């Protein structure tokens, strides 16, 4: 049916996508109802109401919702399997979207830890009283002797952590399963390929897409989605760990 529409448009003198037709809403192809879940579904499933920064939580829920139409296009059309280079590029940026989502979600998780640690009066055996694994910072950014010092900056919105920082800090509180950690590292590495040009050893370089396009498959996209779905369980373990700590040290739940 879609092909018939395109063929008819060309017979009418249009040349999509260069010269296209602007349809009124009532004449547009309607996206299948029920496929795109509402944002409340994601807010509940990913426990976004617990994030200190609710603007971040809302943005995450919107992008999570956006993964539904992405999923539809990659699962129902040739964009998911071939569609020339355009299909591979579509899959690449779909995977990058998931990587960006994972980074944002973990950032919200660490902000939650920072807030809870800041509100905890049990300084004697503080969970965050550890050498800061993110001590080596990029030029112009702070160096921290322990995690508590970093958390103060996070709570004051004076520090934004990198994906790599997040993957170093979270294991100080709960263990990240080996396979999940490996997949998160892989997502981080793919996310870092968002730029066509980049600087390496003070030289501008261009990523050779032809040498890397085979990595952007539907299978890789599905693996990225599987990683994303594991993050709420990781967050739940962190919440439980902090709650157990408070129970142990204060004798009551807060």
Q: Which one, of 34, 37, 35, 64, lies nearest residue 48 by Cα?
A: 64
- pLDDT tens digits, one per residue of 67-82: 999 999 999 998 888 7
What is the structure's pLDDT at 134?
Answer: 59
The stretch 165-193 carries a mean pLDDT of 90
What is the structure's pLDDT at 137?
Answer: 52
Domain count, the chain: 1
Among 80-89, 157-166, 180-189, 221-230, whose mean pLDDT is lowest?
A: 80-89
Yes or no: say if 103 and 185 are a contact pair by the CB < 8 Å rule: no
Q: Cα 62 from chain centroid?
A: 12
The stretch 7-29 carries a mean pLDDT of 84
DSSP category for residue 31? P
Q: Is residue 61 part of a domain?
A: yes
Q: Is the pLDDT of residue 122 over 60?
A: no
Q: Which one, of 107, 80, 224, lies nearest residue 165 by Cα?
A: 107
The average confidence (pLDDT) of the chain is 83
Q: Is the pLDDT of residue 38 over 60?
A: yes
Top-confidence range, 197-201, 227-231, 239-243: 227-231
Identify which has the larger pLDDT, 38 or 134.
Answer: 38
What is the structure's pLDDT at 24?
Answer: 86
The stretch 33-62 carries a mean pLDDT of 96
Identify the domain containing residue 243 by its residue range.
31-250
Phi and psi at 215, nearest 5°, equal -80, -20
Which band of pLDDT confidence, cut at 50, 70 and 90, is reported for residue 94?
A: very high
Q: Is residue 93 part of a domain?
A: yes
Give the whole-angstrom CA distance, residue 197 versus residue 191.
14
Q: Is residue 14 part of a domain?
A: no
**Predicted model pTM:** 0.85
Q: Is residue 156 part of a domain?
A: yes
For 207-232, give the DSSP string: --HHHHGGG--HHHHHHHHHHHHHHH
Q: Is the pLDDT of residue 11 over 60?
A: yes
What is the structure's pLDDT at 210?
Answer: 59
Q: Is residue 20 part of a domain?
A: no
Q: Is residue 5 part of a domain?
A: no
């Amino acid at each position: 049916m879609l092909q018939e529409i395109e063929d008819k448009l060309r017979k009418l003198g249009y040349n999509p996508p260069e010269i296209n037709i602007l349809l009124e809403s009532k004449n547009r192809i309607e996206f299948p109802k029920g496929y795109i879940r509402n944002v409340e579904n994601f807010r509940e499933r990913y426990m976004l109401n617990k994030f200190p920064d609710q603007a971040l939580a809302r943005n995450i829920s919107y992008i999570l919702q956006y993964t539904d139409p992405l999923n539809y296009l990659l699962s129902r059309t040739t964009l998911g399997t071939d569609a020339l280079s355009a299909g591979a590029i579509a899959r690449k940026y779909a995977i990058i979207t998931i990587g960006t989502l994972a980074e944002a979600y973990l950032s919200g998780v660490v902000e939650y830890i920072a807030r809870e640690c800041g509100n905890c009066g049990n300084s004697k055996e503080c969970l965050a009283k550890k050498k800061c694994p993110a001590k080596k910072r990029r030029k112009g950014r702070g160096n921290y002797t322990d995690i508590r010092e970093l958390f103060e900056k996070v709570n004051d919105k004076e520090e934004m952590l990198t994906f790599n920082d997040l993957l170093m800090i979270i294991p100080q509180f709960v263990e990240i399963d080996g396979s999940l950690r490996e997949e998160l590292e892989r997502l981080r590495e793919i996310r870092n390929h968002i730029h066509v040009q980049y600087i390496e050893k003070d030289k501008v370089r261009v990523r050779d897409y032809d040498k890397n396009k085979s990595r952007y498959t539907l299978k890789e996209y599905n693996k990225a989605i599987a990683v994303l779905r594991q993050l709420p369980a990781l967050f739940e373990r962190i919440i439980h760990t902090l709650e157990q700590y408070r129970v142990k040290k204060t004798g009551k739940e807060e």
